[in-house]
Amino acid sequence: MNELLLDPVFYWLVWAIFTVAGTIIGWSLRAHFSEKDVRRALDRSEHDRSILARLYTHIKHQHDLREADFKKASLELDNLRDRLMVLEQERLAFDHAEQAYNARIEQADANAARFAERFRALEEQTNTLRARNTQLNVDLGRMQQELSAWKTLYRDFQAMQQKLLAVELSASKLETERNNLRQQLDLAHAEMERLQTVTRSGRRTGGPKGGPARSAPGPDNPDDLKTIKGITTHTEQQLHGLGIYSFIQISHWDDDAIISAAKKLGISPGKIYQDDWVGQARQLVGEGRI
């Protein structure tokens, strides 16, 4: 309908129809009515046509205004549709972004829970390490005190060791001198016992019989020390190196002499006690094997 009203051909066609219709009506009225009545009718018809024309013009103007408003509304509607599409796209983008943010938030919550659990575990480990550190500090303090005590003891031990070395040197010198004196004393005792034995034998027999008497044992005329159980050839040679050649010397050994001899021979003093070197030597001396 709006297109027909805006069409000029349709407008002039309607105008022609109304004009022809008015003319026919005028002639019809003129044929039936008087000229004065016809004129009044024509004037009235002209007046009505003018009113219709003005009404048509007003309606057309209103229509044009409405059409302009409609076009303006259409443009605004198109703009609104465009804006709506843009807003819809933005809404979809926001929805995607919101979903991504929600996923990230859930991941962040999971990470936060995991980090909180790790933090609690680390806090427990920290407390444990602190307790261990405190205990270690206590142990360290105690060990430092013990170390200080050990250092003091070690200094005292070094001083005592130096004193002991000095005493051992003095004892070694004294032991050497005592061994020399003991050997000399043993030789003297052996010589005395030999002389006493010879004297007793001469008294019993009225004088010596046979060949000359045997000389005192020495490097050139030692006793057979291997007769004593436990003394080997090598041990006998070691004893000769120590200046021991007779049973009499061994028979006079005391505990100190036994320990000194065992140390020099490189054997245990228990072996000398177990084999009873001193007892065997005394027995051999009593049997007269000198």
Rounded to the nearest 10°, the torsion over CA 158, 164, 167, 172 is -120
Query: What value does the mean pLDDT take over residues 172-196?
Result: 66
| 13-27, 53-67, 174-188: least confident range | 174-188
Q: What is the mean pLDDT of residues 186-190?
A: 64
Whole-model pTM: value is 0.30
The proportion of the chain whose per-residue pLDDT surpasses 70, expressed as a percent, equals 75
Pair 67, 6: CB distance under 8 Å = yes
Residue 290 above 50 pLDDT? Answer: no
Question: What average pLDDT does the segment 170-198 reach?
Answer: 66
Q: Are 29 and 41 in contact (CB under 8 A)?
A: yes
Residues 6+ positions from 38 with CB-CB distance below 8 Å: 26, 29, 30
Q: pLDDT per residue over 85-112, tens digit each?
A: 999 899 899 888 888 888 889 898 899 8
Specify the pLDDT at position 220: 73
Q: What's the whole-number mean pLDDT along residues 13-26?
A: 78
* pLDDT value for 3: 62
pLDDT over 70 (residue 189)? no
Q: What pLDDT is recorded for position 203?
A: 47
- Over range 57-83, report the average pLDDT: 85
